[in-house]
Each structure stands twice: as structure tokens, then as C-alpha cells.
Amino acid sequence: MLGSNPVKRLEPLDTLRGIAAIGVAIFWHYQHFKPEVYPFEKYAYWFYHYGWLGVDFFFVLSGFVFSYVYGEKIVSRAIDIKIFLVLRLSRLYPVFIVTTFVVAIIQWGRKFLGFEFFVYPYNDIYHLLLNLAFLHFGWFENGFSFNAPSWSISEEFIAYIIFFNILYFYPKKKYVLFYSMILVGLFLQKTQAHLPLFNQEVARVLLAFFIGCFTYKINYGLRGGDKRYLYIILNSTLLTAIVAMIFGHKFLGAKYADVYVVLFFPCLIMAVLNIGFLKKIASFRPFVYLGDISYSIYLWHFPVQLLLFTGGEMGVFTFNAATKLWFLVYVVLVIAAGSISYRYETRIRYRIREAMLGKH
């Protein structure tokens, strides 16, 4: 089947993806429970308060990984738009559809029982159709709907299409066009545009994804050269960011989101790929596995939250999100759901690719 000659896996990046997924799904979105206190907040302050930046980190990682996995294949016309779309949609769509309908059933069940919708209010047929078409955020919606964290996947797919078309039709001008997309993202941010396709969410993905593409160029342009200066720069940047996160949250807080996207995230990626001990730690198999199931974790965490909150409201059990015990129960359930889902979605993905693309 297509893809039988895969590129070498970058395991440290899988670990980073897993950490980002945990940051968003476990910590940042824990606010949905509205706990009186946040469990382990002393140790996870940054993730609770700035974990939303994990989504931007996903975008940067995607730009890097897409350049690595697909770049040369698209330029050489080894894959066309049909193959590219099948590869991407077979990866994204199955678990997206399942979680969307799981959320729909539970939310509609809540309404039938006399409860309000949990967190996201627009759970009607119109917004369901937008979800099914991957147009559920940044296009014609009234607000967040169904499994709303999937908004980032909807937006990122825009970057996928732009990325493919640039490499397929304008390979010699790719970095000029990548830079243009970064400028478009910055322009949309600064103008606060709020139109279909031209809005703040699209701005985030354009800026971060194509920064990731440039990070790939910089990282692989350094191979074979003297890396001493690279190590000094990366270590200094990482140390600054770590100190800021631990001791001065406002220093690199929400106001400085672009600092993460333009500087810290690219440096973090290059650090774990080029600095020996970091690469070794990030290649530890249990950490890598979290990266394997990160997409599943990301899409299943809201359905798990929905079930827990609904069960508590119905009196099935006493749910207190402020306790460390229930926090750990939530963590275990999310990771378990992600792990089980990953097993099945992997099989489905390969069957779809087999049916649509055949063997090569």
C-alpha cells in the first residue's frame, strides 16, 4: 500500500505532541468542570493557565512534520491531491466522526432529561452538518458546537491544502509563499478580522504551521555543521522560557503568545532533535506512546468530561472536580479512551487507504 516506504520516524516529536495533548486536554480544559480549586495547580500552573498554547504548538509541529514527511514527495509528484487527501482524511475523520456523534447523543440526551447543554451551546442539526463537512469553526457557525476542541483540526486542514498546493504548483517559490502565509496570519491577527476564512483562528494556524515549515528548513540546514552555537542558542532560549514559566508566568503569558510560536516552540523542537540527552529522554517509549495516542486523547477528552459531568448531575455518583482523586480518575479515563480508540482507528485507517488507494 502507499506509504510502504515511510520516512524515519521522529520519535522525540511524538513525545512533544503527547505533552501538548495532555496540556490542553487534561489541564487547560479542566476548567469546563469549574472546580473550586484546581488539583495539583502548584505544580501545573502554566498548563492550567496557558495550556491553550498547546494547540499552537500542534500547528508548529504539524508544519515541521508535514515538511519532513510530505515535502519531497509532493514536489516530486510522488503523491497527488487525491492521495494526499485520502492519507489525511483517513487519519483525521474516523475518530472525529465517532466523537462528534457520541457528544451529540449525550448532549441531546441531557436536553431530553431537562439539563442544559454542557459547555458548548450550539448542538443543532445546522451545526452538526457544519461539523460533518469540517466547516464547524471559522466559517459560518454561530459559536462552538458538539466536540468543539476539534475546531483546531478544521482550521489546520486549511493549512494542509495551502501547503500541498504551494509545493505541488510552486515548489521553487515555496519559502517565499510560506513566508507570505505567515504575513497573512500576522495581518489577520493585527486587524482582528472576523470573517469566514479570514479570522483569528485561521490566523493562528497560518502563523504557526508555516513557522513550523521554516523550522524544518533551519533544523535540517544545520545538519553536518558545527552545532556548538546552535546548542548555546537553544539552551539559552529553553532556560529563559523554563524560568519564565516557573517563576514569572506573566513574562511569557497570553500577551506574548507569538513569542512561543516564533521562538520557543521552534527552539524546543530543534533542541529535542539535536541535543543528545533531550533526544534520549524524548525517545523513551512510554512518552512516545502518548504521542501515538495524542490525537485520540485530544478528541476523546471532551466526551469523557461530558459523561462525568452528566453522571454527577444525574446522581449516578458524586463528582467533585476539585479533588485530586477525581482528577486522577479523569486522567485515567481520558488516556484509556485514547488508547482504545487508537487501536481501532489505526485498523480503520489502513482499511480506508487500502480501499481508496490500493497497493503500490
Q: Which residue spans within the chain are E strands per DSSP?
A: 194-195, 198-199
% of residues, the chain, pLDDT over 70:
89
User: pLDDT tens for residues 1-36?
Assistant: 444 456 788 999 999 999 999 999 999 999 999 999
User: pLDDT tens for residues 316-359?
Assistant: 988 899 999 999 999 999 999 999 999 999 999 999 999 999 85
C-alpha dihedral sign at 65, 69, 75, 81: negative
Q: Beta-carbon neighbour count of residue 140 at 10 Å? A: 12
CA 288 to chain centre: 16
Write the CB contacts of 54 (distance below 8 Å, at least 6 apart in sequence): 19, 20, 21, 23, 24, 28
Q: What are phi and psi of 285, to 5 degrees?
A: -55, -45
Mean pLDDT lowest among 87-96, 211-220, 324-333:
211-220
Mean pLDDT lowest among 122-126, 229-233, 328-332, 352-356:
229-233
Evaluate if residue 174 carries a pLDDT over 90.
Answer: yes
